[in-house]
């Protein structure tokens, strides 16, 4: 029987380190992807805020 050094993900069964190893192979791409994701989240936040403001104005 082999000894497990890290717990596996209960859903996928994969070890958490696997994904980190994939990211370590291509580190320059990761900051760009994170920046893109932050931009999307910022736009979504702003769109929701504008929508809620419009609803509030219509309610008065």
Query: pLDDT of 15-57, one tens digit each?
Result: 655 556 666 666 667 788 999 999 999 999 999 999 999 999 9
Please state, in angstroms and as integers, the Cα–Cα distance from residue 55 to each residue in 43, 50, 52, following that order: 18, 9, 5
Model pTM score: 0.49
The domain segmentation of the chain, as residue ranges, is: 27-59
Query: pLDDT of 1-16, one tens digit each?
Result: 455 555 556 666 666 5
């Amino acid at each position: 029987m082999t000894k497990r050094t890290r717990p596996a993900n209960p859903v996928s069964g994969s070890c958490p380190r696997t994904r980190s190893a994939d990211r370590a192979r291509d580190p320059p791409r990761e900051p760009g992807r994170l920046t893109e994701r932050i931009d999307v989240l910022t736009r979504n936040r702003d769109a929701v805020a504008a929508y809620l403001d419009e609803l509030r104005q219509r309610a008065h």
